[in-house]
Amino acid sequence: MTQRPGHRGFRTFLVIWSGQLVSLTGSGLTGFALGVWVYQRTGSVTQFALISLFTALPGIVFSPLAGALVDRWDRRWAMILSDAGAGLCTLIVALLLAANRLEVWQIYILMALSSTFSAFQWPAYSASITQLVPKEHFGRASGMVQLGEAFAQIASPTLAGVLIGVIRVEGIILIDFLTFIFAVVTLSLVHVPKPKATEEGKAGQGSLLREAAYGWKYIRARPGLLGLLLLFAATNFTSGIVQVLFTPLVLSFTTAAVLGTILSIGGLGFLGGSLTMSAWGGPKVRVYGIYVSLLLQGVVLFAAGFPPQVTVLAAAAFLYFFNHPIVNGCSQAIWQSKTAPDVQGRVFAVRRMIAWSSLPLAYLAAGPLADQVFEPLLAEGGALASSVGQIIGTGEGRGIGLLFIILGIVSLLATAVGILYPRLRQVETELPDITIDGDDRASEVGTSLEPSEAPPAGLEL
C-alpha cells in the first residue's frame, strides 16, 4: 500500500525529536563531567573505562524484555518511563555529589540502572517513528535522529568543558536532569498511535518471555534481515576496537591538542553525514547504500594503519564518521519497512542486543590485542620489525596501526560476504513492505490525548 505523506505525524515526530535532542545533549554533558570526576578522583584508566561498560551492558542484556514490554504498552508511555527513570538516576548522582557522598561504585550502579531504563527508549522511539513518518521518509527521519547524536557529540564536550569551571560537576548534572524533564514534557504533548494488530503480532502473543523470544524468531524466519544483522554485528566488532584504540594510535606520534582537533573533524563528518541523510534520505535501493558505506569504511581503516600523518588520520576520521549516519539510516529504513508495526519493539530490541553484543567483547579484547600481541610484534627488534615494519614503521603505535590494517581487511571481507549472500542482497525485493493505514497516523500536537496503556505500577518481571 502506498502511504500518503503524514504532515501531522511528521510534526509530532519533530516535537519528540526536539525533546530527545535536548535530553541527549544533557546526557553528553553528564558523561563528560562524570568521566572527568572519576579520572581525577581515582587516576585509574580501568575505573574510567568501567563507566562505559556499566552504561552499555545492562541496556544490551535487558533489551529483549524491554522490547516485549514496549509492544505491550503505549509507546509514548514507554519513552516517558525511560526518560523519567534515567532522569531520576541522574538526580540521585547530583544529590550525592552535592552532599559530598558520591563514590565511584555508586556511579556504576546508577549508570547501570539508567542503562536499564534506556533499554526501553530506542525500541519505543524507533517503532514510534514507523507510526508517525511516511515510509518514503524513513531514511530522512533516521538521518535526523543521528543528526541529534552528532550535535550532542560535538556540543556536549565543549559546553561541559566551559561549564565545569563555572557551575562544577553537580551543576552540569542538574542541567542534565532538567533536560530529561524537557523530554518528558514534549512527550506529554503528543499522541503516538497504537499500531493495528497483525498476524505476526498475534502469532507472537503469550507470556512476557515468549514475546521477548519472538523478536529473535521473527528475525530468524527472514534470512535477509538476519544476514543484515550479522553483518552489523561483525562490523561493530571492528568499530568497537577502533573506538578504544584510536586515541592511543594518535597520541603515539602527536599531542592531545592534535587528537582533539582530529576528533572534532570526525564529529564534523558525523554532522555532515547526518545532514546529508536528513536531506537525501538515502539511495532508492538502500542495501546498496549499506554496501558502499561499509566498503568505504573498510578502506579508511586500512589506510589509517599506515605510517601516521595528521592530515591522513583527520581525513580518515571525517570519512569514517560521515559514512556512519548513511549506513545506519539505510539499515534503519529497511528494518522499519520490513517489520510488522506491532512487533517492532521486541524485534528492534533483539536486533540491537545482537548487533551490539560484539561491542563488550571488542572493548575487552582491544587492550590485550594491542599491548600483548601487536605492539610487541612491531617494537624495535620485534618479530615483524624487519618485514611489515619496513612498510608501516616500527615503534610505539605501529602495532596498533597493523591492527587497524587487519581490521580494515576484516571489514572488507565481511562486507564482501554480505554482497555475495543473495538473501541479503535482495532483502528489499524478497520481503514485502509493511502496510500502515494513513488514518492511523498521529493526531496534531496539542490535541487532547486518548486513553493510553501506561505501564502498570509495581510491575514485576
Q: What are the tens digits of pLDDT across the range 18-55?
A: 898 898 888 888 877 777 777 677 766 566 667 777 77
Q: Are residues 319 and 426 in the same domain?
A: yes
CA distance 439 to 430: 27
Q: Are residues 213 and 102 in the same domain?
A: no
C-alpha cell at 53: 561498560
Which is higher by pLDDT, 186 or 257? Answer: 186
- What pLDDT was estimated at residue 461? 36
Q: Which residues contact 162 (CB under 8 A, 6 or more apart)?
A: none
Asked if residue 412 lies in contact with residue 295, where contact means CB atoms within 8 angstroms, the answer is: yes
Q: Are residues 155 and 252 in the same domain?
A: no
Average confidence (pLDDT) over 278-298: 91
Residue 193 lies in a domain: no
Residue 306 lies in a domain: yes
Asked if residue 330 lies in contact with residue 56, where contact means CB atoms within 8 angstroms, the answer is: no
- The 10s digit of each residue's pLDDT in 106-122 is 888 988 888 888 888 88
DSSP string, 61-72: HTHHHHHHHHHH
Three-class SS state of 420: helix
Q: Are residues 170 and 216 in the same domain?
A: no
- The pTM of the full predicted model, rounded to 2 decimals, is 0.72
Asked if residue 370 lies in contact with residue 251, where contact means CB atoms within 8 angstroms, the answer is: no
Whether residue 290 has pLDDT greater than 90: yes
Whether residue 282 has pLDDT greater than 80: yes
Lowest mean pLDDT among 190-194, 285-289, 302-306: 190-194
Average confidence (pLDDT) over 411-415: 96
Q: Are residues 224 and 337 in the same domain?
A: yes
CA distance 376 to 389: 12
Residue 449 lies in a domain: no
Three-class SS state of 102: coil
Residue 64 lies in a domain: yes
- What pLDDT was estimated at residue 182? 93
- What pLDDT was estimated at residue 453? 31
Mean per-residue pLDDT over the chain, rounded: 82
Q: Are residues 258 and 343 in the same domain?
A: yes
Residue 301 lies in a domain: yes
- The 10s digit of each residue's pLDDT in 414-444 is 999 999 999 999 999 999 887 655 444 433 3
Q: Are residues 212 and 312 in the same domain?
A: yes
Whether residue 160 has pLDDT greater than 80: no
Total domains in the fold of the chain:
2
User: CA nearest 132: which of 66, 60, 79, 62?
Assistant: 79
C-alpha cell at 414: 565481511
Q: Are residues 166 and 219 in the same domain?
A: no
User: CA nearest 173: which of 264, 256, 62, 95?
Assistant: 95
Average confidence (pLDDT) over 165-194: 87
CA distance 24 to 163: 17
- What pLDDT was estimated at residue 47? 67
Given 130, 157, 188, which residue is the final one in a domain?
188
Q: Residues in the chain, how many?
A: 461
**Environment class of 219 (CB within 10 Å of its CB; exposed 0-12, middle 13-18, buried 19+):** buried
Which is higher by pLDDT, 362 or 315? Answer: 315
In sign, the C-alpha dihedral spanning 80, 281, 152, 356 is positive
CA distance 160 to 268: 18
CA distance 258 to 252: 12
Q: Which residue segment(s) compose the domain that 5 sits in? A: 1-188
Confidence of residue 292 (pLDDT cuts 50, 70, 90): very high
Average confidence (pLDDT) over 160-171: 79
Average confidence (pLDDT) over 188-197: 83
CA distance 54 to 110: 9
Q: List the CATH number of the domain containing 429.
A: 1.20.1250.20
Q: Are residues 184 and 236 in the same domain?
A: no
- What pLDDT was estimated at residue 8? 67
Lowest mean pLDDT among 115-124, 257-266, 368-377: 257-266
Given 127, 156, 188, which residue is the final one in a domain?
188
Confidence of residue 360 (pLDDT cuts 50, 70, 90): confident
Asked if residue 37 lies in contact with residue 51, where contact means CB atoms within 8 angstroms, the answer is: no
Which is higher by pLDDT, 409 or 282? Answer: 409
Neighbours of 383 (CB within 10 A): 12
Long-range contacts of 241-246 (CB under 8 A, 24+ apart): 241/362, 241/365, 241/366, 241/369, 241/403, 241/407, 242/301, 242/320, 242/404, 242/407, 243/362, 244/362, 244/363, 244/366, 244/367, 245/366, 245/370, 245/400, 245/403, 245/404, 246/317
End-to-end CA distance of the chain: 38
CA distance 122 to 366: 27
Asked if residue 432 lies in contact with residue 345, where contact means CB atoms within 8 angstroms, the answer is: no
Whether residue 202 has pLDDT greater than 80: no
Unique residue bearing C-alpha cell 493526531:
443
Average confidence (pLDDT) over 336-358: 86
Confidence of residue 410 (pLDDT cuts 50, 70, 90): very high
- What pLDDT was estimated at residue 2? 37
Three-class SS state of 261: helix
Q: Are residues 150 and 5 in the same domain?
A: yes
Whether residue 95 has pLDDT greater than 70: yes
DSSP string, 173-230: HHHHHHHHHHHHHHHHT---PPPPP-HHHHHT-SSHHHHHHHHHHHHHT-HHHHHHHH
CA distance 427 to 346: 20
CA distance 183 to 83: 7
Average confidence (pLDDT) over 140-148: 81
- What pLDDT was estimated at residue 402? 95
Average confidence (pLDDT) over 333-357: 87
CA distance 91 to 282: 39
Neighbours of 376 (CB within 10 A): 14
Residue 112 lies in a domain: yes
Q: Are residues 76 and 225 in the same domain?
A: no
Residue 226 lies in a domain: yes
Across 92-101, 218-227, 337-346, which has the greatest mean pLDDT? 218-227
- What pLDDT was estimated at residue 426? 94
Q: Are residues 6 and 107 in the same domain?
A: yes
Phi, psi of 385 (to 5 degrees): -65, -35
Residue 2 lies in a domain: yes
C-alpha cell at 147: 543528526
Average confidence (pLDDT) over 290-299: 95
Confidence of residue 256 (pLDDT cuts 50, 70, 90): low
AA letter at 442: A
